[in-house]
A and B are shown apart, each in its own frame.
Chain A
Amino acid sequence: MYQAEIRKPLVTGGKSYADVTNDICRPIENKPSSSWWLGFSVALVLLLVLIGTLGWTTWEGIGTWGVNKTVMWGWDITNFVFWIGIGHAGTLISAILLLFRQKWRMSINRSAEAMTIFAVLCAAVFPLFHMGRVWLGYWPLPLPNAFGSLWVNFNSPLLWDVFAISTYFSVSLVFWYLGLIPDIATVRDRAKSKGRKFWYGFFAMGWNGSARTWARYEVVALILAGISTPLVLSVHTIVSFDFATSVIPGWHTTIFPPYFVAGAIFSGFGMVLTLLLVARHVMGYQDYITSEHLEAMCKVILLTGSIVGLAYITEFVIAAYSGYEYEQYAFMNRMFGPYAWAYWTMMTCNLIAPQVFWSKWARTTPWFIFIISIIVNIGMWFERFVIIVTSLHRDFLPSSWVMYKPTWVEAGIFAGTLGLFFTLFFLFAKFLPVINMSEVKTIIKDKE
């Protein structure tokens, strides 16, 4: 492949095609390391916590949470929006960057897409289990039914969520799986045991690597990228409608759609960085996920973080300008009210912290990026907490103003979704190629 002189190579270390295959198939073909076992065990324990806390919630009722008569959504919807946001980086990288022909995406898109799918699964836990009667969770689906003339309410943003998220999940899953097929075929071809041959063979769907197969594959990938692209914008736009179309001061804000999308990408890249920095270190993929990649992602974080910060300030200015006392109070309350600590945590983490990425050193120093990526994750969680809880806890009638404190059950569910996420991620790292071998091979210069 041609490489421009002024551009740094996207994959370093002078890798040959064989090196790529060997490097990336190594974790799949070898026994898992002790660090994998350790991480996987911790994740699995947390997954059990998820099962336990969800079981308790279902058995006893939502009363086991800290939500109350005024703040009816607390950590549940905070976590929902948090996880949905996390997913966005995957779609952005695989769809939009594909259309923009950003080739640096190739070594990170696989894991970012996997992250999308796992994050959406984690997110789905919350809208489902925040229902008082989770066993009727299928009622928001427009299914023909025998309940009489009952139908769903197309005015409700929650219903839009149902459509948006299910579409998002299914398109992401198909896109991810399609991209995996050539690589699964590679693993199949290298497989030595019967079982591996069968299972990888099954999922490779008879991939034979012919020119015709490749041609069709690329067309389908492009079409799916086209379908996914609007989803990057639509999903979080619709999630933001849950708040924007309501009447609650602090929620009822027209800026929410772009601000939520930017925030989602911001948080998604934060999470991608967190994961990749660890994976890169543990699996020794420094040559594939180079500091070029890190730098590019840091730039995205800097950009989206600044957009989000601008949105925070815009919101405040609009509230001040609106002459609407309830809106004004909501924002004053965020800054100086009883949850001010959460607001300032959010501001520090999301607006101030990413500004360090103006420095090239910061953008290229992995341990430093790791710290910032964690800060971004924390900050974006707090953003959702601030939006949901501080708006609700003091709305129109001061008589109903309350404080909200989560219980151990809510904390357990959140920790549990982390467990679900990492369990899936560890399994992914063990059984599937975390880097897209076939695509990466198109961007290296094999000496042979």
Chain B
Amino acid sequence: MKSSNQYWKGIDELEQTPEFVESEGREFYEGLPLDKVFSNDDSFRANRRDFLKFFGFSVGAVALAACNKTPVKYAMPYAIHPDNVTPGVPLHYASSSISDYEGFPMLVKVREGRPIKFEPNKEAEFYGGGLDGLAHASILSLYDTNRTPGAQKKIETAYDSIEWAEADEAIMKGLSSAASSGKQIAVVSRSSTSLLLKSAVEKLNEKYGNVVHVNYEPVSYSGILHANEQSFGKKAIPAYHFGKADVIVSFGADFLGTWISPVRFSADWGKNRVPKNGKMSKHIQFESLMSLSGANADVRVPMTASSTGAHLVTLYNELLQLAGSSMVSGPKKELAGQAIKHAAEDLWKARGKSLVVSGSNDVNDQIIVNAINTLLGNYGTTIDMNNHFNGYSGDDSSFKKFTSDVNSGRVGAAIFVDANPSYSHKSFGSLLSKIPLTVSNALIMDETARSCTYLTPDLHALESWDIKEPYVGSYVFNQPTIGPVFQGRQIAESLMVWSGQSNSASGDKTYTYELTKSIFDSKIGGDFNKAIERGFLMSTASASPVSLGVSPADAASKIGARKTSETNLVLYQKVGVRDGYFANTPWAHEMPDPVTKVCWDNYLSISKPDADKAGLKDGDVAKVTANGVTLDSIPVLIQPGQARGTYGIALGYGRMLPESVQNDLKDLGQNVYPMVDHSGNTCNYVISEGVSVEKVEGAYELARTQSHHTIEGRNIVREASLDAYNEDPYVTNHHKHNLVSLWEEHDYSKGHHWAMAIDLNSCTGCSACIVSCSIENNVPIVGRTEIRRRREMHWIRIDRYYSFEVPQAATVHIDKIMGDAEVSEGDYLTEEKKINNYTEDTSDALYDNVKVVHQPMLCQHCDHAPCETVCPVLATTHSGEGLNQMTYNRCIGTKYCANNCPYKVRRFNWFRFNENKKFDYHFSNDLGKMVINPDVTVRSRGVMEKCSFCVQRIQSAKLQAKREDRKMESDEFTTACAQTCPSKAIVFGDLNDPKSEISKLYNNERSYHVIEELDTKPSIVYMTKIRNKKEKSNNHVAHH
């Protein structure tokens, strides 16, 4: 039925005019001007000239547009989708750390086939579940463009690429001729704990005979090895358990920074540093330099390094006296304030739960240490000789024997495995030419490889299979997480090939996989896949007491006969760079030294009184002579707390890197390995003879991230003694300000509320968090010059403050207005003016007793954030979960937010730090960019950035929970800094989750906010530092 309703478009249609009726049938109402087009009317048609004009313009415009070169980016899809790989979802593989050779369980985070970050293996409880700065930094060595591409042969002075087969043939020929001429074949390796290497060397010996395996360590622990061999018949370093010790006494052993296995020791030490039931461990450090361990000690007393033995004997005698035994004859040398006597009393009270360690590399010193620990009954509790450590087994005397063999022409071939003695040994470089065949496995052309006849580059550890045995019966597994980036070959495979084994792969399994599996099956046994997945196996043997098989009296008398000197040069390792093997890793240098806060260089550290005597100040340069070696000019740094008469220079610098390295890594620092004293059985890193320091013309500005070192009496870091804390747990946190706010409170009642707690008690300041954060968040490396300009980009930093104990009461002049102030003995001075004027008027003794605090500082994610209100374009805003978020795309770079930040944690992109030849680090080359975390934006020039509380991790954990349709647990993930902290000082979590650790810590009696009187309402609480020390006067509780 037709509808009675009629709709019409216009009057014309309603009226059905003839025009309408006619036009309705046409497609174009007005018709097409066809007749005009086909007419001869020129005004309507484009003529020839117009055509040329339009044509010319079009061609020109297209040409101009084409001139703009659009970068071509290739994104290759997977031809065959690999199993388990989902783009955007990271995979974690268990593996072992590469920066220390004993092997340390960790996880490798892999995105789309690229390893991008190392994360601690939290299941490996024994190892503490942390990683240090160098461990994180070392990932860059995988993506180092300077790695040697394939086998090389030395012709004259240059290297030429050769085929692997050709290299194998030549090397095997060389090895055979060495064997047939009756000469030694030496495999010189870092004291690796690799089982693959071990079995490959065995195979090599089977084939050629007369193969010697020389373990070489640039910084050796031979003193401990020999002492233990003599004392207990085991040439090994024991396993130490700092966490089980109630009293720790260290004589110059920087066990939190560089000594043996600092990551594990930090974790262990941290366990007993948070007061529980009114108790915590007491850490006493006697040392000559200011080490990281010294900075964290409850009691720290400067000690002359060359008197370590005498002080140890004194402690031994004090303990013998307390034990009622007769004393040994030997030197008696007390420290200031009868520190050794007090230490002995503390140790004796904690018999069986104490630990004495020494950083000395002298056998007799270490025998006394063994005697002390035996007397105290520490073996079996805090020291475990059964599950002893396998690392650092390099023995100076065996290397000495090797060098003399080389010198007398008894070595026919030498294969250097991760060893670089030409750099780290004074006289070795010149000996290399006496060996007919020399082969190096170095990844980059290092000092030793430069003089070798063949260079057969190893695979990077991340490309390799391996089994390591860091402790007896404990294994750590290494699995490849990426295919070989360069044409290298794993050294174990190379050695097998040279032993005449066939390295043909069977099926889809590589040769090294088969080798690893066969070693696993024969030496360990069990489920290989499960072991690889977990990454490690732990020994189950228990510790037991041992008896001393050596006479301490002999050692004591030998120590007594030793010459000591008041002027010493201590050659030490820095926390970031260590022995220098990874000196080509820029993050190792960009990470500030935890104590001096210097990046990029080594320097002469000197005590204030010595500096005053020599007329030196920070920024001067000095000429240093020691052990017959002279450094013409080295920058000077005055180090509070350093023993008088002691100078310090860090090892590990002055590396000769490939010529292609043109950034700040080139000619970095000065090599002081030639100063090491090789005259005795063990290397001596304390040089007592012929040490002279004099000022020379010139100046050198060290790149330091902190230049003001005292806290100016401010209530920023709170600390109290254990006694005061036991009396009143809220000791420093009673005073609260009556704060009134104009702002409305945020409502966090729904969802999450992220927060962080940082325990100043367990934080050692080791700076692992800095590197972990930087790699997680694509923080650029800016180099020495920019750090000198105070523009480091770290999102988290560790503030370090010194305070000085007043040796005697005095009146110090402050300034014109404030006049004079009285300071009494035992006060801690924290104000620059008082400190300077006190020493001017009275004594230098002020610099001997230094108290150090470390405070990690990062974006506080304030609820009332001063930065948020001042941004004109709302580029920084507050999230509903308590995060202070930064929108890089919206930022125009007024920098107002950073000015208004009371914590000064915002960082500005002063330059474009990627693809910039001036910042030629991994962000500026295609290979290096592989390490970039794809979850985090690489910031452009001109925008502000700062800590985001790892928002990408929060989001991915939330997404994961959502996908699995469950409620997210707040302990499911953590931030990069908290994750890596070896001593577990940082805890991150959800305050809205009552079960979370953070919500407990937030209400802890030690928790406080920094500058809380400003009422910025930070989301980070710090927890008061408690020192296990008797305070003469308690001057930090005072109202500010």
Contacts and interface: CB of A to CB of B under 8 A. Distances in A.
A166 interface: no
B792 A69 contact: yes
Contacts of A329: 712
A68 B790 contact: yes
B1011 A396 contact: yes
Contacts of B1014: 247, 396
A158 B894 contact: yes
B891 interface: yes
B774 to A, nearest CB: 15
Given A325-B714, A332-B815, A133 B898 contact: no
A172 to B, nearest CB: 23
A397 B857 contact: yes
Interface stretch (A145-153, A285-293, A352-360): A145-153
A336 B872 contact: no
A159 B792 CA distance: 29
B89 interface: no
Interface stretch (B90-98, B607-615, B795-803): B795-803
A132 B893 contact: yes
Nearest to B877: A153
B706 A153 contact: no
Interface in A61-120: 61-63, 66-70, 72-73
A283 interface: no
Contact of B712 (A151, A162, A245, A398): A398
Nearest to A137: B892
Contacts of B816: 335-336
Contacts of B896: 72-73, 156, 158, 242
A134 B714 CA distance: 39
A132 B908 contact: yes
A313 to B, nearest CB: 13
Contact of A133 (B797, B866, B893, B1010): B893
B707 interface: yes
A139 interface: yes
Contacts of A403: 707
For the side of the interface on B, what is the size category? Answer: 35 or more
Contact of A332 (B713, B716, B818, B910): B818
B874 interface: yes
B873 A139 contact: yes
For the side of the interface on A, what is the size category? Answer: 35 or more
Contacts of A66: 789
A340 B872 CA distance: 33
Nearest to B712: A398
B797 A153 contact: no
B712 A158 contact: no
A392 interface: yes
Contacts of B904: 69-70, 395-397, 400
Contacts of A153: 869, 871-874
A61 B792 CA distance: 16
Interface in B869-915: 869-874, 890-896, 898-900, 902-904, 907-912
Contact of A131 (B894, B911, B912): B894
Contacts of A335: 816-817
A79 to B, nearest CB: 15
B269 to A, nearest CB: 24
Nearest to B904: A400
A396 B902 contact: yes
Nearest to B902: A396
B962 interface: no
A155 interface: yes
B654 to A, nearest CB: 29
B817 A133 contact: no
Interface in A382-418: 392, 394-403
B174 interface: no
A164 interface: no
B799 A152 contact: no
A140 B708 contact: no
Contacts of A70: 790, 904
Contacts of A325: 713-714, 1040
24 contacts: A60-B911, A62-B893, A63-B910, A63-B911, A66-B789, A72-B899, A72-B908, A73-B896, A132-B895, A139-B892, A140-B873, A155-B870, A156-B870, A156-B896, A157-B870, A245-B869, A329-B712, A332-B817, A396-B903, A396-B1011, A397-B857, A398-B714, A398-B801, A401-B707
Interface of A: 60-63, 66-70, 72-73, 127, 130-134, 136-137, 139-140, 150-153, 155-159, 162, 242, 245-248, 325-326, 329, 332, 335-336, 392, 394-403
Given A72-B898, A402-B790, 8 more contacts: A60-B911, A69-B792, A140-B872, A150-B890, A153-B874, A156-B896, A398-B709, A401-B707
